[in-house]
Amino acid sequence: MTVDASQGTNAPGADNGMVLEARDVTVRFEGLTAVDSVNETLHRREILGLIGPNGAGKTTLVNAMTGFQRPTAGHVRLGSRVISSLTPHWIRRHGVARTFQAGRLFRDMPVSENIEVAAVSLGMSRKKAHAHAMELLEWIGLADRAALPAGILPYTDERRVGIARALAQKPQFVLLDEPAAGMSDLECDDIMHVVREIPKQFGCGVLLIEHNMRVIMGVCERIHVLDSGKTISRGTPAEVQKDPVVIKAYLGHE
Amino acid sequence: MIEANTPLLRKVRYFWPLIVLCLGLLIIVAIVDSTGDIILAQTLVEGLVRIVIVVAIYMFVGNSGIISFGHIGFVLIGAYATAWQTCCPYTREMFMPGLPTYLLNNSHHFVLAIFLGGVLAAVVALIAGFAIMRLTGIAASIGTFAFMMVFYSAYLRWSTWTSGASSVIGLPTTTTPWVGYAYAVVTITAAFLFTRSKWGLALRSSRDDEVAAKASGVNVFGQRLLAFVISAFFCGMAGGLFGHFLGMLTVDSFYLGMTFITLSMLVVGGMQSLAGAVIGVVVISVVIDVLRRLETGIGGFSIPSSSAEVGVGLILLLILILRSSGITGNAEIYWPFKRDVSSEGALRRQS
Ligand SMILES: Nc1ncnc2c1ncn2[C@@H]1O[C@H](COP(=O)(O)OP(=O)(O)O)[C@@H](O)[C@H]1O
Ligand SMILES: [Mg+2]
């Protein structure tokens, strides 16, 4: 393993007691309440699952926590600082990274430069950024693809590059939006392994959005369930799986 | 086969696209210079000044992906700012009576004057860009166009500083082929280094996907503004060169005609490549020159006037329809020898 977690993150004020918090976060779109007074606290070195039927508001909550969507009410805190009105790049530079459901790689750029973009924007020189990108690609098993244009990668690799890009410069928290969607069981095992390694290698807290219950149950210590923007259940995988409200929400949508 | 194993060879390979462009231009300038043909030399200098303009536009447009219709406004600003410092010391007060006393009584050296012209354009870009760079996509493009309209109209009416609709005559014609070449090389080098810098990389990421760029920590607004200011600086210097090439200035020459020609050159060459910017200028300049000669008539044969503009328009349309990534296909000039995939140079594919 080439990535050393003991160095921690370079973000100012980083410490292991740092938390990323949503406090009564509400997001409304013209009448539709996509996220409805949601509270959650993400700690470093934990893996929190965020599940719920399609349209439950999971992506919107991640948008609100990363500066892409200003909450209509409530706020998001990083440590003692309210970050919900700050810009996405500021939030990324201060240690909260994310991936996208759609991958969103820089398609015209080589795979390595996709990661270098994040590294240079967080303060590295181009040379250091390149070495850092190669380290991350090595870690995630794509070092041999470094020189390929990102646009030609299959989507399984695309997701992994997205994760590597989010991990550039060791963020304190990383929010993964459906990294295993559409993957086979074997590919899911691979993603599960990657997600489990993130807190160990990088020391960061992980919020994992995923539909595949096997992945969620396999890697998460805690789970938060949303339905129609509201929290309907929280707890360990075993508790949530047995919760009749959760079962009903999922059956109701099938 | 040559492999890039020594540090020197690796450097040569890294700078290869730059070296080829500068050597190519050097050969053209040397050949034209040796013929002693004055008409040809005029065409050459005009082409070199256009290279400065188009490469400067490339720095912003090619890396940000935002088409600018307004950069000729910076050329205008630079051209007049230079004239204030160098033009016609004895008649300056007649052409531009509103100038401050210092400018009426003092002249600067051509190189300093051109530099300060670039600085003024950059300062204006910083202020205008503060508003325009917050826009995205087509709104930003229209914003740049509006910017040029404002400055064009203002300079037309601001006759105590610009002589308004009439010309300012008597600039020293110091832009020789070799001076033009020197500025072209400086501009191409700056564009090359900028594109490969961390700022160029960050800006290009926002061209590919603005949302993902922000999520990667890129200050998209800031990077765009930086590129806008740098490219305005070189456009401003090009304005100064242009004035010292013609020996006179009119506000009208920095307007839609020049905007059309320079953007055509960039698009025809390949908007997202430095080589494309240079090659586009060379190709379109040759086409214009040939058509202009035909317009005046060669051996009893002539074509209607304005054929040059029609010709450029047709070439532009053909490129847009058949090969929208331009002659170069948005690629840079590649290292012609064996690729050594394991070394990092191979990863620097220009995107
Ligand atoms: N920008 C937007 N404008 C309007 N409605 C939106 C917007 N983004 C999301 N929504 C709506 O908010 C709800 C939650 O969406 P989303 O957060 O994407 O759900 P999930 O990620 O859980 O599938 C959906 O009904 C969606 O249509
Ligand atoms: Mg979603």
Q: What is the 3-state secondary structure (H, E, C) of B227-239?
A: HHHHHHHHHHHHH
Q: Which helix (H) or strand (E) holds B204?
A: helix B198-208
Measure CB to CB from residue A100 to each of B212, B220, B349 and give the nearest one: B212
Q: Give B134 Cα–ligand 1 centroid separation in angstroms.
A: 25
- Cβ atoms B10, B345 nearer than 8 A: yes
Dist. CA B196–CA A117, nearest whole Å: 12
Query: B299 or B211: which carries more pLDDT confidence?
Result: B211
pLDDT at site A5: 41
Give me the residues of chain A with pLDDT under 50, please. 1-13
Which of A2-6, B91-95, B209-213, B299-303 ranks highest by mean pLDDT? B209-213
- All residues of chain B having their beta carbon less than 8 Å from the beta carbon of residue A118 are 216-217
- Cβ atoms B163, B84 nearer than 8 A: no
Q: Is A54 in the pocket of ligand 1 (CB under 6 A)?
A: yes
Distance (Å) from the C-alpha of residue B201 to the closest C-alpha of chain A?
Answer: 6
**What average pLDDT does range B232-255 have in this prediction?**
95
Residue whose structure tokens are 């002249």: B107
Distance (Å) from the C-alpha of residue B20 to the closest C-alpha of chain A?
Answer: 23
Closest by Cα among A67, A79, A80, A82 to A19: A79
- Cβ atoms B85, B220 nearer than 8 A: no
pLDDT at B87 over 90: no
Strand-pair partners of A23: A75
- Cβ atoms B335, B10 nearer than 8 A: no
- All residues of chain B having their beta carbon less than 8 Å from the beta carbon of residue A170 are none
Q: Does B219 touch chain A (CB under 8 A)?
A: yes
Residue whose structure tokens are 């930086």: B226
Q: Is A35 in the pocket of ligand 1 (CB under 6 A)?
A: no
pLDDT at B33 over 60: yes
What does DSSP assign to residue A149?
B
ipTM exceeding the 0.85 mark = yes
3-class SS string, A37-60: EEEEEEECCCEEEEECCCCCCHHH
Question: Could you say which ligand is closest to the alpha carbon of residue A52?
Answer: 1
Strand-pair partners of A54: none
**What average pLDDT does range B64-85 have in this prediction?**
95
pLDDT tens-digit series, residues A10-41: 444 456 678 999 999 999 999 899 999 999 99
What does DSSP assign to residue A22?
E
- All residues of chain B having their beta carbon less than 8 Å from the beta carbon of residue A122 are 217
Using CA coordinates, name the residue in chain B closest to A94: B217
Tally of domains within chain A: 1
Q: What are the extents of the domains in chain B?
A: 14-255
pLDDT at site B2: 53
pLDDT at B340 over 70: no
Q: Give A38 Cα–ligand 2 centroid separation in angstroms.
A: 16
Token output for A117: 């973009």
DSSP E strand stretches across B111-236 = 168-169
Query: A162 to each of A106, A118, A146, A157, A177, how far by Cα in Å?
Result: 10, 11, 13, 9, 10
A9 phi-psi bin (left φ>0, alpha ψ -120 to 50, beta other): beta
The CATH number assigned to the domain holding A159 equals 3.40.50.300
Percent of chain B with pLDDT over 70: 95
Q: Does A110 touch chain B (CB under 8 A)?
A: yes
pLDDT at site B171: 87
Q: What's the whole-model pTM score?
A: 0.91
For B5, residues 6+ apart whose C-beta sits below 8 A from its C-beta are B340
Return the number of CB contacts < 8 Å for A and B. 95
Dist. CA A110–CA A115, nearest whole Å: 9
Closest by Cα among A127, A182, A136, A130 to A162: A136
What angle in degrees, to the nearest 10, is found between the helix axes of B71-86 and B220-246? 50
pLDDT at site B300: 75
Dist. CA B85–CA B112, nearest whole Å: 9
**A92·B216 Cβ contact <8 A:** yes
pLDDT tens-digit series, residues B135-147: 988 999 999 999 9
Token output for A248: 């009903």
Using CA coordinates, name the residue in chain A closest to B214: A89
Residue nearest to atom 5 of ligand 1 (CA): A29
Measure CB to CB from residue B347 to each of A93, A105, A110 and give the nearest one: A110
- Domain, as residue range, for A201: 5-251
Measure CB to CB from residue B216 to each of A68, A112, A118 and give the nearest one: A118
**A108·B201 Cβ contact <8 A:** no
pLDDT at B345 over 70: no
What's the mean per-residue pLDDT of chain B? 89
| DSSP reduced 3-state for A101 | coil
Q: Which of A26, A27, A32 to mutate to test the pocket of ligand 1 (most atoms within 8 A of CB)?
A: A32
pLDDT at B244 over 90: yes
- Cβ atoms A5, A203 nearer than 8 A: yes
Query: A152 to each of A106, A137, A157, A178, B290, how far by Cα in Å?
Result: 11, 16, 10, 21, 42
pLDDT at site B338: 63
Tell me the torsion sign for CA atoms B84, B86, B88, B90. Answer: positive
pLDDT at site B298: 78
